[in-house]
Amino acid sequence: MSSSAGQATSNTVTIKGNPNLANSTIYGGYNGYYSNDTAFDNFVKGNTLNLYSKGLNAKNIANFENINFYLPADFKHNDTVLTLHDTKDTDISKAKVAVGVIDGKAPKLEVNERVNLLHSLNAKVIHPTDMSNHVSLMQGVSKEYTLELKNDEEKYLYALVTKVPKKPVTPEEPAYKENPGVKSFLEAELSTASLLNQGVDLTSSDGIKAMRTSYDEQYGLGVFSVIGGSDIRYKTGSYVDIKGFNFAAGVSNSVLDNSLVYGLFFEYGKGEYDSFNSFANSSVVRGSGDTKYYGLAFALEKELEDRFYIDASVRAGRSKSDYKSNDFNGLASFDISRNYYGAHIGVGKIVELNSVSNLNLYTKLLYSRLEGKDVDIRGDKFSFNAIDSIRTKLGARYEYLINNGFDIYTGVAWEKEYDGEAKGFNHATNKSIDAPKLKGDSAVLELGSNYQTNSFNIGTNLQGYLGDKEGISGGVKVEYKF
């Protein structure tokens, strides 16, 4: 921007590769009429310079509030990021400096090794006035080094790697400290496991109910579909918020004089999540992404004597998810695909209260498994273990028939998760990651209705969750009898 008035702020200049800028001055903001005007609020504020290579050359740099040095994978002791050729001093007195290593495969830095950030060949470097004594350098996403910025050489802005104070051990610990924020990656794993649990809940409740009522006693075959949406927070040690929907559609039939109903389902689910982690003596890490699954399920329900019943299902399919966070001195992201499996078994009894109402007492055991997978995140290798979820649900549902085609119901249940732990291993530090988990207790409150004609059955439902799982879900089912 070239003007005698106005602002040139909040600009970003990013340099990658090895461009020849030895005769060029890189500006964040510039006043073409008054080249000596460097007013902070007009030409410096919010301007950012990102440098992604070493061995760069420029005439000079000016008017940047933030200067970020991203050291490449081949960076080594005493290499220089940017060499300046101007005969005028380089004034970065108003700048804030940050240093990072993008690739986790970069050579390990040792204590007292030197990182040359700026080197002015023919003039001075006017160092930052508000220069922090220490800055954090992140290698990959797992290792954090502490560097001390130095201003004792007038032609350089450089930093020395310093030893992080730790309890003395033998052999001596490395200069880096582990980044606890990598736990956030496992929170993303729990978001997929949670969406799968919502899917088995849909299959084992409304799915089986739709399967049971959709078949025709005379002709057998029935077609049904159920869909549910949810907005739920899972307490995992920190928390994960998931918004999504689950869908199942299938065909049903019966045998044994209609006492055994079975069905084949296609199931699909899709959601988006946000995770939050905070750590002692560390910054907050927020992650987000999308997750989905698709697969097949088989279910059945058998009527027993005295209004007892038993139901069960098995399921298998494929899941895909992604993750991104800007809280790792830059973007950390990954995509992952793997298989899932699940099953449930339930028993219950219908207690007739009178001619228009009954009480459905039930208990269920629900299981799902999300397979493990290795991923590479900015050069750091991680192994995500399989996640096994084992839950029980004990509940009661009161059903009231308003007329021959319309009934309503309300219910309450207690759900307990016994496992749901996301374990992982960080190969960059050769250590296990602190594992978040879904384990805990939740209360479930529900309300719903069903409307039936000769061929169609349409139902709606709403659930609320309290405890280690908080939020709401709801859905619609549609059934058709041939």
Reported as a single tens digit per residue, the pLDDT across 133-156 is 556 677 677 777 778 888 889 999
- Measured between alpha carbons, how far is 192 from 234 in angstroms, rounded to an integer? 12
Please give the pLDDT value at position 25. Answer: 93
pLDDT band at 282 (very low <50, low <70, confident <90, very high): low
Please give the pLDDT value at position 168. Answer: 42
**CA nearest to 394, candidates 429, 361, 358:** 361
Helix (H, G, I), strand (E, B) or coil at 75: coil
Q: Tell whether pTM > 0.85.
A: no
- Measured between alpha carbons, how far is 433 from 183 in angstroms, rounded to an integer? 6
Q: What is the pLDDT of residues 88-125, one digit of tens each?
A: 999 998 888 888 766 666 556 778 888 899 999 999 99
Please give the pLDDT value at position 450. Answer: 84
111 against 368, higher pLDDT: 368
Please identify which residue in the block is written with the tokens 């609020």: 41
- Measured between alpha carbons, how far is 364 from 83 in angstroms, rounded to an integer? 68
Look at residue 352 and tell me whether its pLDDT is greater than 70: yes
**CA nearest to 427, candidates 96, 155, 185, 99:** 185
Look at residue 388 and tell me whether its pLDDT is greater than 60: yes
Please give the pLDDT value at position 216. Answer: 63
Average pLDDT, the chain: 86
Look at residue 200 and tell me whether its pLDDT is greater than 80: yes
Please give the pLDDT value at position 117. Answer: 93
Indicate the pairing of strand 285-303 with strand 260-277. Answer: antiparallel
Fold of 181-480: Lipocalin (2.40.128)
Backbone angles phi, psi at 70, to 5 degrees: -105, 105
Please give the pLDDT value at position 169. Answer: 46
Residues 6+ apart with CB under 8 A from 220: 253, 254
- DSSP assignment string, 146-178: EEEEE-SSTTEEEEEEEPPP----SSPPPS-EE
CA angle 11, 13, 19 (to 5 degrees): 160
Any idea where the domains of the chain sit in the sequence?
12-178, 181-480
- Measured between alpha carbons, how far is 12 from 40 in angstroms, rounded to an integer? 16
Look at residue 1 and tell me whether its pLDDT is greater than 80: no
Count of other CB atoms within 10 angstroms of residue 133: 10
